[in-house]
Amino acid sequence: MNKGFDENWLEQLKAKNDIITVMSHYFSLQQKGKNYWACCPFHHEKTPSFCVNGYEQFYHCFGCKEHGDVITFIQKIESCDFMSAVEILAKNANMEIPSFYMDESIKEKKKSKDTILKILDLASKHYEENLYKKTSTKAQEYIKTRGLTKKELDKFHIGYSTDWTEIVTYLKSKGFAEKDMVLAGIANQKDDRYYDTMGERLIFPIYNIHDECIGFSARSLVPTDYAKYKNSANSLVFDKSKNLYGINVVRKLKQEKNIDFIIIVEGQMDVIALNQAGFCNCVACLGTALTPLHARMLKNICNNIIVSLDGDFAGQKATIRTIDTLVEEGLNVRAIKIPNNQDPDEYIKQFGKEAYQKLLDDAVDFVEFKILNKLEQYDLNKVDEKAKFVKSAIEIVNELNTNSEKQVYLDVIKKLSGVPTDVLKRDLIDKKEEKIFRQQPVTYSEDAEVKSIKFVLASLCYKKEYANFNFDLNKYLINSSYIKLYQTLKDYNDRNEKFLISYLYNLFDVDNEPNIKDIIDYNFELIDNAKIYYDECIWKIRENYLKNLIKNLSEESMKIDDYQKRMDMLKQIGDLQKKLRNKILED
């Protein structure tokens, strides 16, 4: 949908941001025939299935089914919202964003968001300055114990909150209202006083993927009854379920050179310690479990992930949850277990970066990691526990899609348990049959008229030589999206103007309009003799209309007592039946 923008302005924006040129800044495209191809940036694949239509200015992946125009592409590749994508493209095209696009509520929201970002940026810089004051000895001593150098402090803009009111006073002196500080998560109110929510803590600014400060994580430097680490509350610009610590560093790394994988660790200090050791391709969650939104953000940067959470029981449990979320989103996942229940920071300090590199090199794929994790829960010297291990390992393998994959991991279970592969395979078959018995798949068939309408509209959209507007569909369409699409196509045709598929992303929220998505993704290769099929579809639409009309008139005639009126209606029905028999399209 146009999200409030004038459609003509959006078309100009997209015309000045050729989709092939824009995508070429992110990855290489190879031209084959009329279209361009690449390995999909949104899922892992070795054979290119990501197709870009330069003429129609839209893309479609035949693997993961991602699709869209240049605005959608920027949203997904940059992990940003519609407005941010428009801003990026407008800047690229040197176009001014019109002010008329927003209603008052959106204007107020944007104004508030801009104010919050200014407050957070200023506060971050001030906290950073505080760290170097002579009175900040507590923070400086802690930094020394952690072995941090000026390089890490500058890279992550680490700062210090000196007391409970100083930042509020400072921001007021810069002209900001206390209520806006509260909205930014900097301050809170108690009685009639405002205080620093991160008072007397070491400050770790949190940056989004566009390198904007959106909040803070802060560590207490003295024993406290409260949590050691504290994150900013959710705000207009910050949501911990959508942001990762270090994501701005990883994105810059990708822009400078291609990264092979991203490491997920548990906390900020792990990210900083790994950066210090030269492993800059790492991120951490912000006091929450990894979410599908986090996974999608990572997927837009790199398909390959190594999970490196703490080696203790809680860390390994979190690793399994993290793996499941990443795999669900189609990422290529490996994992490591850090020995001695250590975290990455502790391990590198004790054994050095070469030892950690060896752990990364030896990282196992997620299935093997899950099996090995189960192995640690059982004593295989005990018969009953060995049986339990084999059963739980079989359940893991049973979730895989192909028999070849299953065979590989059955061999792993055999090596660990000593149970012959053919026995394991029989257990796997039993599990498969049990799973099939439990599942009762439901099949759905699409109405013939709907199929006809989709083909006709798709043919008009793609300007097929056999498609035309000789048969006016207007009165035959009930679905509001179809009506809107057809009228738009007809208007462009009447004005003799070029209509591009990418315009559909201005008109509709395509991801939430499956009927429109089906039209965009229509596979014409499945249709034999498309011209004949088009004519048949036109008649199918007309036929269904006439049949419904006859049915409704017949039901109505039965309710009429007046003889003459009933005869007139029966004559009308007879005329319609004649048109039906003779396949007459015109009324």
CATH of the domain at 360: 3.40.1360.10
On whether the CB atoms of residues 158 and 134 are closer than 8 A, the answer is no
**Which long-range contacts (C-beta less than 8 Å, at least 24 apart) are formed by 492-497?**
493/469
Read off φ and ψ for residue 24, nearest 5 degrees.
-65, -15
555 in the same domain as 430: no
pLDDT at 8 over 90: no
Mean pLDDT, residues 205-227 taken together = 89
Percentage of the chain lying above the pLDDT 90 cut: 47
Domain end position, chosen among 82, 101, 120 = 101
Question: pLDDT of 292-303, one tens digit each?
Answer: 889 988 987 888
Longest CA pairwise span in the chain (Å): 105
Q: Within 10 A of 276 (CB to CB), how many other CB atoms are there?
A: 20
455 in the same domain as 354: no
Write out the two tokens for 35. 């279209």
Distance CA 56, CA 248 (A): 33
Domain end position, chosen among 75, 101, 127 = 101
Confidence of residue 227 (pLDDT cuts 50, 70, 90): confident
Which residues form the domain of 61? 7-101
Write out the two tokens for 334. 């490996």
For residue 371, is it within any domain? no
For residue 498, is it within any domain? yes
574 in the same domain as 470: yes
For residue 587, is it within any domain? no
**Which amino acid is present at 33?**
G
For residue 574, is it within any domain? yes
Distance CA 54, CA 428 (A): 48
Domain end position, chosen among 101, 136, 153 = 101
Confidence of residue 431 (pLDDT cuts 50, 70, 90): low
Residues 401-436 as b or e (16 or more Cβ within 10 Å = b): eeeeebeebbebbbebbebeeeebeebbeebeeeee
Number of domains in the chain: 5
For residue 238, is it within any domain? no
- Residue 29 is part of a domain; what is its CATH number? 3.90.580.10
Comparing 113-127, 174-188, 565-579, the range with the smallest average pLDDT is 565-579
For residue 44, is it within any domain? yes
Mean pLDDT, residues 17-32 taken together = 89
Question: Residue 268, class by beta-carbon neighbours within 10 Å (0-12 exposed, 13-18 middle, 19+ buried)?
Answer: buried
543 in the same domain as 472: yes
85 in the same domain as 23: yes
Higher pLDDT, 440 or 375: 375
530 in the same domain as 568: yes
Q: Work out whether strand 229-231 and strand 262-265 pair parallel, antiparallel, or are unpaired.
A: unpaired
Distance CA 522, CA 453 (A): 12
270 in the same domain as 194: no
Residue 454's nearest CA partner among 531, 517, 510, 506 is 517
Confidence of residue 575 (pLDDT cuts 50, 70, 90): confident
222 in the same domain as 113: yes
Residue whose token pair is 């006439």:
546
For residue 32, is it within any domain? yes
- Residue 470 is part of a domain; what is its CATH number? 1.10.860
What per-residue confidence (pLDDT) applies to 563? 77
For residue 65, is it within any domain? yes
What per-residue confidence (pLDDT) applies to 444? 35
Question: pLDDT of 332-379, one tens digit each?
Answer: 999 999 998 899 999 999 999 999 999 999 999 999 999 999 998 888
Residues 213-244 as b or e (16 or more Cβ within 10 Å = b): bbbbbbbbeeeeeeeebbbbeebbbbebebbb
573 in the same domain as 462: yes
Indicate the pTM of the whole model.
0.69
Comparing 250-264, 266-280, 456-470, the range with the smallest average pLDDT is 250-264
571 in the same domain as 467: yes
Comparing 216-220, 356-360, 478-482, the range with the smallest average pLDDT is 478-482
Distance CA 247, CA 252 (A): 9
23's CB contacts (< 8 A; 6+ apart) are 29, 36, 38, 52, 59, 73
Confidence of residue 443 (pLDDT cuts 50, 70, 90): very low
Distance CA 311, CA 373 (A): 11
6's CB contacts (< 8 A; 6+ apart) are 98, 100, 101
Residue 92's nearest CA partner among 33, 32, 14 is 14
pLDDT at 49 over 70: yes
Residue whose token pair is 């526990």:
385
254 in the same domain as 334: yes
Confidence of residue 435 (pLDDT cuts 50, 70, 90): very low
459 in the same domain as 425: no
pLDDT at 494 over 60: yes
